[in-house]
Structure 1
Protein backbone atom coordinates (compact mmCIF):
# COMPACT_ATOMS: atom_id res chain seq x y z
CA UNK A 1 0.00 0.00 0.00
CA UNK A 2 2.77 2.49 0.86
CA UNK A 3 4.18 2.22 -2.68
CA UNK A 4 1.06 3.92 -4.08
CA UNK A 5 0.80 6.73 -1.52
CA UNK A 6 2.90 9.87 -0.93
CA UNK A 7 5.94 9.37 1.31
CA UNK A 8 4.48 11.43 4.16
CA UNK A 9 1.38 9.23 4.45
CA UNK A 10 1.95 6.55 7.10
CA UNK A 11 0.68 3.04 6.29
CA UNK A 12 0.27 0.04 8.58
CA UNK A 13 -0.85 -3.36 7.29
CA UNK A 14 -1.85 -6.77 8.65
CA UNK A 15 -1.71 -9.93 6.54
CA UNK A 16 -3.29 -13.26 7.39
CA UNK A 17 -3.59 -14.16 11.06
CA UNK A 18 -1.13 -11.63 12.45
CA UNK A 19 -1.49 -10.56 16.08
CA UNK A 20 -4.12 -7.88 16.70
CA UNK A 21 -3.68 -5.36 19.52
CA UNK A 22 -6.57 -5.17 22.05
CA UNK A 23 -9.25 -2.53 21.53
CA UNK A 24 -9.41 0.51 23.76
CA UNK A 25 -12.29 0.68 26.24
CA UNK A 26 -14.60 2.95 24.19
CA UNK A 27 -13.91 0.90 21.07
CA UNK A 28 -14.86 -2.30 22.92
CA UNK A 29 -18.29 -0.80 23.64
CA UNK A 30 -18.87 -0.39 19.89
CA UNK A 31 -17.61 -3.90 19.15
CA UNK A 32 -20.02 -5.52 21.62
CA UNK A 33 -22.90 -4.95 19.18
CA UNK A 34 -21.13 -6.67 16.28
CA UNK A 35 -21.07 -10.29 15.17
CA UNK A 36 -17.79 -12.19 15.51
CA UNK A 37 -16.63 -11.59 11.94
CA UNK A 38 -17.32 -7.86 12.13
CA UNK A 39 -15.59 -7.70 15.54
CA UNK A 40 -12.47 -9.24 13.97
CA UNK A 41 -12.49 -6.71 11.12
CA UNK A 42 -13.16 -3.81 13.48
CA UNK A 43 -10.37 -4.87 15.86
CA UNK A 44 -7.87 -5.31 13.04
CA UNK A 45 -8.73 -1.91 11.57
CA UNK A 46 -8.36 -0.15 14.91
CA UNK A 47 -5.07 -1.95 15.56
CA UNK A 48 -3.43 -0.81 12.32
CA UNK A 49 -4.89 2.69 12.70
CA UNK A 50 -3.46 3.01 16.20
CA UNK A 51 0.00 1.89 15.06
CA UNK A 52 -0.09 4.35 12.16
CA UNK A 53 -1.11 7.27 14.40
CA UNK A 54 1.75 6.42 16.77
CA UNK A 55 4.18 6.58 13.86
CA UNK A 56 2.91 10.12 13.19
CA UNK A 57 4.24 10.96 16.65
CA UNK A 58 0.83 11.20 18.32
CA UNK A 59 -0.75 9.36 21.24
CA UNK A 60 -3.62 7.35 19.74
CA UNK A 61 -7.09 8.07 21.11
CA UNK A 62 -10.12 5.77 20.81
CA UNK A 63 -11.17 5.64 17.16
CA UNK A 64 -14.96 5.84 17.23
CA UNK A 65 -17.52 6.00 14.40
CA UNK A 66 -19.53 8.84 12.92
CA UNK A 67 -23.20 8.74 11.94
CA UNK A 68 -22.32 7.25 8.54
CA UNK A 69 -20.06 4.60 10.08
CA UNK A 70 -16.79 6.23 8.99
CA UNK A 71 -13.93 6.53 11.52
CA UNK A 72 -13.80 9.71 13.61
CA UNK A 73 -10.10 10.55 13.47
CA UNK A 74 -8.55 12.52 16.31
CA UNK A 75 -7.61 16.18 15.90
CA UNK A 76 -4.70 16.70 13.54
CA UNK A 77 -5.20 13.44 11.63
CA UNK A 78 -6.83 12.38 8.37
CA UNK A 79 -6.96 8.75 7.42
CA UNK A 80 -8.70 5.73 5.97
CA UNK A 81 -9.07 2.04 6.86
CA UNK A 82 -9.74 -0.95 4.63
CA UNK A 83 -10.04 -4.68 5.15
CA UNK A 84 -10.87 -7.77 3.16
CA UNK A 85 -10.18 -11.46 3.62
CA UNK A 86 -6.62 -11.97 4.96
CA UNK A 87 -5.71 -8.26 4.73
CA UNK A 88 -6.22 -5.02 6.65
CA UNK A 89 -4.58 -1.59 6.31
CA UNK A 90 -4.76 1.96 7.60
CA UNK A 91 -3.25 5.09 6.06
CA UNK A 92 -2.94 8.33 8.05
CA UNK A 93 -1.36 11.75 7.63
CA UNK A 94 -1.36 15.21 9.13
CA UNK A 95 -4.46 17.23 8.29
CA UNK A 96 -2.18 20.18 7.60
CA UNK A 97 -0.77 18.28 4.62
CA UNK A 98 -3.90 16.59 3.25
CA UNK A 99 -7.59 17.26 3.20
CA UNK A 100 -8.46 13.59 3.03
CA UNK A 101 -7.30 10.06 2.21
CA UNK A 102 -9.19 7.09 0.80
CA UNK A 103 -7.86 3.53 0.53
CA UNK A 104 -9.47 0.25 -0.44
CA UNK A 105 -8.55 -3.43 -0.80
CA UNK A 106 -10.47 -6.12 -2.67
CA UNK A 107 -9.75 -9.76 -3.60
CA UNK A 108 -8.60 -9.99 -7.21
CA UNK A 109 -11.63 -11.77 -8.63
CA UNK A 110 -14.40 -10.61 -10.98
CA UNK A 111 -17.48 -8.86 -9.67
CA UNK A 112 -20.65 -10.97 -9.64
CA UNK A 113 -22.52 -10.45 -12.91
CA UNK A 114 -25.64 -9.25 -11.09
CA UNK A 115 -23.62 -6.50 -9.35
CA UNK A 116 -21.85 -5.05 -12.40
CA UNK A 117 -24.81 -2.93 -13.68
CA UNK A 118 -24.95 -1.09 -10.34
CA UNK A 119 -21.20 -0.36 -10.28
CA UNK A 120 -19.96 0.16 -13.82
CA UNK A 121 -20.54 3.17 -16.06
CA UNK A 122 -21.03 2.36 -19.80
CA UNK A 123 -17.60 3.87 -20.51
CA UNK A 124 -16.03 1.42 -18.05
CA UNK A 125 -17.90 -1.56 -19.51
CA UNK A 126 -16.57 -0.68 -22.97
CA UNK A 127 -13.01 -0.18 -21.69
CA UNK A 128 -12.98 -3.56 -19.93
CA UNK A 129 -14.29 -5.30 -23.06
CA UNK A 130 -11.45 -3.85 -25.15
CA UNK A 131 -8.63 -4.23 -22.58
CA UNK A 132 -5.87 -6.78 -23.31
CA UNK A 133 -5.77 -9.94 -21.22
CA UNK A 134 -4.42 -9.26 -17.74
CA UNK A 135 -4.05 -10.84 -14.31
CA UNK A 136 -6.05 -7.90 -12.96
CA UNK A 137 -9.82 -8.17 -12.57
CA UNK A 138 -10.51 -4.74 -14.02
CA UNK A 139 -14.15 -4.57 -12.96
CA UNK A 140 -13.13 -5.13 -9.34
CA UNK A 141 -10.25 -2.66 -9.68
CA UNK A 142 -12.75 -0.02 -10.85
CA UNK A 143 -15.07 -0.88 -7.95
CA UNK A 144 -12.14 -0.53 -5.54
CA UNK A 145 -11.06 2.81 -7.05
CA UNK A 146 -14.57 4.17 -6.51
CA UNK A 147 -14.67 2.79 -2.96
CA UNK A 148 -11.39 4.57 -2.15
CA UNK A 149 -12.67 7.83 -3.57
CA UNK A 150 -16.05 7.62 -1.84
CA UNK A 151 -14.37 7.03 1.53
CA UNK A 152 -12.40 10.22 0.98
CA UNK A 153 -15.49 12.09 -0.27
CA UNK A 154 -17.58 11.00 2.72
CA UNK A 155 -14.90 11.91 5.26
CA UNK A 156 -14.54 15.43 3.85
CA UNK A 157 -18.14 16.30 2.96
CA UNK A 158 -20.24 14.02 5.17
CA UNK A 159 -22.17 12.86 2.08
CA UNK A 160 -22.21 9.64 0.06
CA UNK A 161 -22.48 9.48 -3.71
CA UNK A 162 -23.51 6.83 -6.20
CA UNK A 163 -21.16 4.47 -8.03
CA UNK A 164 -22.36 5.90 -11.32
CA UNK A 165 -21.78 9.55 -10.39
CA UNK A 166 -18.41 9.19 -12.08
CA UNK A 167 -16.34 6.90 -14.26
CA UNK A 168 -12.78 5.64 -13.91
CA UNK A 169 -10.11 6.03 -16.59
CA UNK A 170 -7.10 3.74 -16.19
CA UNK A 171 -3.43 4.21 -17.12
CA UNK A 172 -2.11 0.66 -16.90
CA UNK A 173 1.54 1.60 -17.44
CA UNK A 174 1.60 4.10 -14.56
CA UNK A 175 -0.68 2.07 -12.23
CA UNK A 176 -2.81 5.21 -12.09
CA UNK A 177 -6.44 6.11 -12.54
CA UNK A 178 -8.56 9.22 -12.67
CA UNK A 179 -12.19 9.55 -11.70
CA UNK A 180 -14.20 11.97 -13.81
CA UNK A 181 -17.47 13.28 -12.43
CA UNK A 182 -20.74 13.64 -14.30
CA UNK A 183 -22.25 15.99 -11.70
CA UNK A 184 -19.40 18.50 -11.51
CA UNK A 185 -21.31 20.98 -9.37
CA UNK A 186 -21.84 18.51 -6.54
CA UNK A 187 -18.36 17.00 -6.75
CA UNK A 188 -16.72 20.42 -6.83
CA UNK A 189 -17.67 20.87 -3.17
CA UNK A 190 -14.74 18.56 -2.55
CA UNK A 191 -12.29 19.00 -5.37
CA UNK A 192 -12.72 22.37 -7.07
CA UNK A 193 -11.99 20.46 -10.27
CA UNK A 194 -13.62 17.94 -12.58
CA UNK A 195 -11.55 14.87 -11.73
CA UNK A 196 -9.32 13.27 -9.13
CA UNK A 197 -6.39 10.90 -9.53
CA UNK A 198 -5.36 7.78 -7.67
CA UNK A 199 -3.03 4.79 -7.81
CA UNK A 200 -3.55 1.03 -7.86
CA UNK A 201 -1.46 -2.08 -7.25
CA UNK A 202 -1.95 -5.85 -7.23
CA UNK A 203 -0.23 -7.60 -4.31
CA UNK A 204 -0.61 -11.22 -3.18
CA UNK A 205 -4.00 -11.55 -4.85
CA UNK A 206 -5.33 -8.28 -3.37
CA UNK A 207 -6.19 -5.18 -5.42
CA UNK A 208 -5.11 -2.02 -3.57
CA UNK A 209 -6.31 1.48 -4.50
CA UNK A 210 -5.56 4.90 -3.02
CA UNK A 211 -6.74 8.50 -3.45
CA UNK A 212 -5.53 11.60 -1.62
CA UNK A 213 -6.89 15.15 -1.61
CA UNK A 214 -4.40 17.97 -1.12
CA UNK A 215 -5.24 21.39 0.23
Structure 2
Protein backbone atom coordinates (compact mmCIF):
# COMPACT_ATOMS: atom_id res chain seq x y z
CA UNK A 1 0.00 0.00 0.00
CA UNK A 2 1.27 3.44 -0.91
CA UNK A 3 2.38 5.36 2.17
CA UNK A 4 1.28 8.97 2.77
CA UNK A 5 4.92 10.09 2.76
CA UNK A 6 5.64 8.53 -0.64
CA UNK A 7 5.60 11.80 -2.60
CA UNK A 8 8.17 13.75 -0.55
CA UNK A 9 10.21 10.54 -0.06
CA UNK A 10 10.50 10.03 -3.81
CA UNK A 11 11.41 13.67 -4.33
CA UNK A 12 14.12 13.53 -1.65
CA UNK A 13 15.66 10.57 -3.42
CA UNK A 14 15.88 12.72 -6.55
CA UNK A 15 17.41 15.73 -4.83
CA UNK A 16 16.73 18.63 -2.43
CA UNK A 17 13.24 19.98 -1.78
CA UNK A 18 12.70 23.73 -1.63
CA UNK A 19 9.88 25.76 -0.10
CA UNK A 20 9.11 27.49 -3.40
CA UNK A 21 7.05 24.38 -4.18
CA UNK A 22 4.45 25.11 -1.53
CA UNK A 23 2.47 21.86 -1.81
CA UNK A 24 5.54 19.65 -1.72
CA UNK A 25 7.08 21.59 1.15
CA UNK A 26 3.86 21.31 3.16
CA UNK A 27 3.76 17.54 2.51
CA UNK A 28 7.36 17.24 3.66
CA UNK A 29 6.68 19.08 6.91
CA UNK A 30 3.52 17.11 7.60
CA UNK A 31 5.26 13.76 7.07
CA UNK A 32 8.68 14.66 8.49
CA UNK A 33 8.49 12.22 11.41
CA UNK A 34 7.53 9.30 9.17
CA UNK A 35 10.24 10.25 6.68
CA UNK A 36 12.91 10.28 9.38
CA UNK A 37 11.86 6.80 10.50
CA UNK A 38 11.69 5.51 6.92
CA UNK A 39 15.09 6.77 5.83
CA UNK A 40 16.69 6.21 9.24
CA UNK A 41 16.08 2.50 8.78
CA UNK A 42 18.47 2.48 5.83
CA UNK A 43 21.12 4.76 7.29
CA UNK A 44 19.93 8.09 5.87
CA UNK A 45 18.77 11.29 7.55
CA UNK A 46 16.43 14.03 6.38
CA UNK A 47 18.23 17.31 7.02
CA UNK A 48 15.82 20.23 7.00
CA UNK A 49 16.51 23.95 7.37
CA UNK A 50 13.09 25.62 7.67
CA UNK A 51 14.57 29.06 8.00
CA UNK A 52 16.39 28.68 4.70
CA UNK A 53 13.60 26.73 2.99
CA UNK A 54 15.35 23.53 1.96
CA UNK A 55 15.64 19.87 2.89
CA UNK A 56 17.86 17.08 1.63
CA UNK A 57 19.02 13.53 2.38
CA UNK A 58 22.35 13.13 4.18
CA UNK A 59 24.11 9.77 4.24
CA UNK A 60 26.99 10.81 6.51
CA UNK A 61 26.51 8.90 9.79
CA UNK A 62 26.57 10.57 13.16
CA UNK A 63 29.05 9.34 15.76
CA UNK A 64 26.33 7.18 17.33
CA UNK A 65 25.39 5.66 13.95
CA UNK A 66 28.90 5.01 12.67
CA UNK A 67 29.22 1.44 13.91
CA UNK A 68 25.79 0.55 12.53
CA UNK A 69 26.42 1.68 8.95
CA UNK A 70 30.04 0.70 8.32
CA UNK A 71 28.97 -2.20 6.10
CA UNK A 72 26.60 -0.18 3.93
CA UNK A 73 27.32 1.58 0.62
CA UNK A 74 28.38 4.12 -0.63
CA UNK A 75 31.59 2.12 -0.89
CA UNK A 76 33.95 4.86 -2.11
CA UNK A 77 33.00 7.57 0.37
CA UNK A 78 33.21 5.53 3.55
CA UNK A 79 35.57 2.88 2.12
CA UNK A 80 33.87 -0.18 3.64
CA UNK A 81 35.66 -2.28 0.99
CA UNK A 82 39.29 -3.23 0.65
CA UNK A 83 41.25 -1.41 -2.05
CA UNK A 84 41.27 -4.53 -4.21
CA UNK A 85 37.53 -5.06 -3.89
CA UNK A 86 36.95 -1.41 -4.78
CA UNK A 87 39.13 -1.92 -7.83
CA UNK A 88 36.99 -4.88 -8.87
CA UNK A 89 33.86 -2.80 -8.36
CA UNK A 90 35.22 -0.12 -10.71
CA UNK A 91 36.10 -2.70 -13.36
CA UNK A 92 32.66 -4.28 -13.06
CA UNK A 93 30.97 -0.90 -13.28
CA UNK A 94 32.76 -0.25 -16.59
CA UNK A 95 31.85 -3.73 -17.75
CA UNK A 96 28.18 -2.95 -17.16
CA UNK A 97 28.59 0.19 -19.26
CA UNK A 98 30.08 -1.85 -22.11
CA UNK A 99 27.22 -4.31 -21.81
CA UNK A 100 24.65 -1.54 -22.10
CA UNK A 101 26.45 0.11 -25.04
CA UNK A 102 26.42 -3.24 -26.83
CA UNK A 103 22.63 -3.20 -26.64
CA UNK A 104 22.25 -5.87 -23.95
CA UNK A 105 22.09 -8.68 -26.53
CA UNK A 106 21.01 -11.28 -23.96
CA UNK A 107 18.98 -9.02 -21.68
CA UNK A 108 19.88 -6.51 -18.98
CA UNK A 109 21.71 -8.99 -16.75
CA UNK A 110 25.48 -9.15 -17.17
CA UNK A 111 26.89 -12.54 -16.19
CA UNK A 112 30.61 -13.13 -16.05
CA UNK A 113 32.96 -15.90 -15.03
CA UNK A 114 35.57 -15.65 -12.32
CA UNK A 115 38.18 -16.43 -14.95
CA UNK A 116 37.08 -13.48 -17.11
CA UNK A 117 37.24 -11.11 -14.16
CA UNK A 118 40.65 -12.40 -13.09
CA UNK A 119 41.96 -11.79 -16.61
CA UNK A 120 40.84 -8.17 -16.54
CA UNK A 121 42.33 -7.34 -13.15
CA UNK A 122 45.43 -9.54 -13.05
CA UNK A 123 47.80 -6.67 -13.88
CA UNK A 124 46.45 -4.54 -11.06
CA UNK A 125 46.67 -7.09 -8.26
CA UNK A 126 49.76 -8.31 -6.43
CA UNK A 127 51.51 -10.93 -8.59
CA UNK A 128 50.35 -14.51 -8.10
CA UNK A 129 52.66 -17.46 -8.65
CA UNK A 130 50.03 -19.37 -10.61
CA UNK A 131 46.52 -19.11 -12.00
CA UNK A 132 44.88 -20.97 -9.14
CA UNK A 133 46.29 -18.54 -6.57
CA UNK A 134 45.13 -15.61 -8.70
CA UNK A 135 41.61 -17.04 -8.92
CA UNK A 136 41.46 -17.63 -5.16
CA UNK A 137 42.60 -14.07 -4.53
CA UNK A 138 40.00 -12.63 -6.90
CA UNK A 139 37.30 -14.83 -5.39
CA UNK A 140 38.06 -13.36 -1.95
CA UNK A 141 37.44 -9.83 -3.24
CA UNK A 142 34.40 -11.01 -5.19
CA UNK A 143 32.95 -12.25 -1.93
CA UNK A 144 33.28 -8.76 -0.45
CA UNK A 145 31.21 -7.40 -3.32
CA UNK A 146 28.72 -10.24 -3.05
CA UNK A 147 28.21 -9.49 0.64
CA UNK A 148 27.14 -5.96 -0.33
CA UNK A 149 24.79 -7.18 -3.03
CA UNK A 150 26.86 -6.02 -6.01
CA UNK A 151 27.41 -9.56 -7.30
CA UNK A 152 25.19 -12.62 -7.20
CA UNK A 153 26.57 -16.14 -7.57
CA UNK A 154 24.76 -18.09 -10.28
CA UNK A 155 26.99 -21.11 -10.70
CA UNK A 156 29.78 -22.42 -8.49
CA UNK A 157 32.37 -24.90 -9.75
CA UNK A 158 34.44 -26.43 -6.99
CA UNK A 159 36.54 -28.37 -9.53
CA UNK A 160 37.40 -25.38 -11.71
CA UNK A 161 37.22 -21.97 -10.05
CA UNK A 162 37.43 -20.01 -13.29
CA UNK A 163 34.04 -21.38 -14.36
CA UNK A 164 32.17 -19.91 -11.38
CA UNK A 165 29.65 -17.44 -12.79
CA UNK A 166 28.22 -14.28 -11.29
CA UNK A 167 25.57 -11.74 -12.17
CA UNK A 168 26.79 -8.15 -11.90
CA UNK A 169 24.05 -6.26 -10.13
CA UNK A 170 23.01 -3.02 -11.81
CA UNK A 171 23.04 -1.15 -8.52
CA UNK A 172 26.71 -0.49 -9.28
CA UNK A 173 25.64 1.99 -11.94
CA UNK A 174 23.96 4.08 -9.27
CA UNK A 175 26.41 3.63 -6.43
CA UNK A 176 29.54 4.40 -8.43
CA UNK A 177 28.97 7.71 -10.16
CA UNK A 178 31.09 8.80 -13.15
CA UNK A 179 32.83 11.31 -10.88
CA UNK A 180 33.79 8.58 -8.43
CA UNK A 181 35.08 6.46 -11.30
CA UNK A 182 37.18 9.29 -12.68
CA UNK A 183 38.70 10.05 -9.28
CA UNK A 184 39.58 6.42 -8.67
CA UNK A 185 41.03 5.93 -12.15
CA UNK A 186 43.27 8.97 -11.73
CA UNK A 187 44.46 7.69 -8.38
CA UNK A 188 45.10 4.25 -9.83
CA UNK A 189 46.86 5.53 -12.95
CA UNK A 190 49.28 7.49 -10.78
CA UNK A 191 50.33 4.26 -9.07
CA UNK A 192 50.90 2.23 -12.25
CA UNK A 193 54.13 2.19 -14.25
CA UNK A 194 53.81 4.23 -17.49
CA UNK A 195 53.32 1.33 -19.95
CA UNK A 196 50.49 -0.20 -17.92
CA UNK A 197 46.97 0.48 -19.14
CA UNK A 198 43.88 0.22 -17.00
CA UNK A 199 42.15 -3.02 -18.04
CA UNK A 200 38.66 -1.59 -18.02
CA UNK A 201 37.81 -2.82 -21.48
CA UNK A 202 38.41 -6.19 -23.02
CA UNK A 203 36.90 -6.25 -26.53
CA UNK A 204 37.56 -9.94 -27.01
CA UNK A 205 35.57 -10.95 -23.92
CA UNK A 206 32.07 -12.31 -24.36
CA UNK A 207 30.61 -12.13 -20.86
CA UNK A 208 27.04 -12.68 -22.02
CA UNK A 209 27.60 -16.22 -23.24
Tell me the TM-score range normalised by the shorter chain: under 0.3
TM-score by length of 2: 0.24
Higher helix share: 2
Larger Rg: 2
The structure with the largest strand share of the pair is 1
Give the TM-score of the pair, scaled to structure 1: 0.24
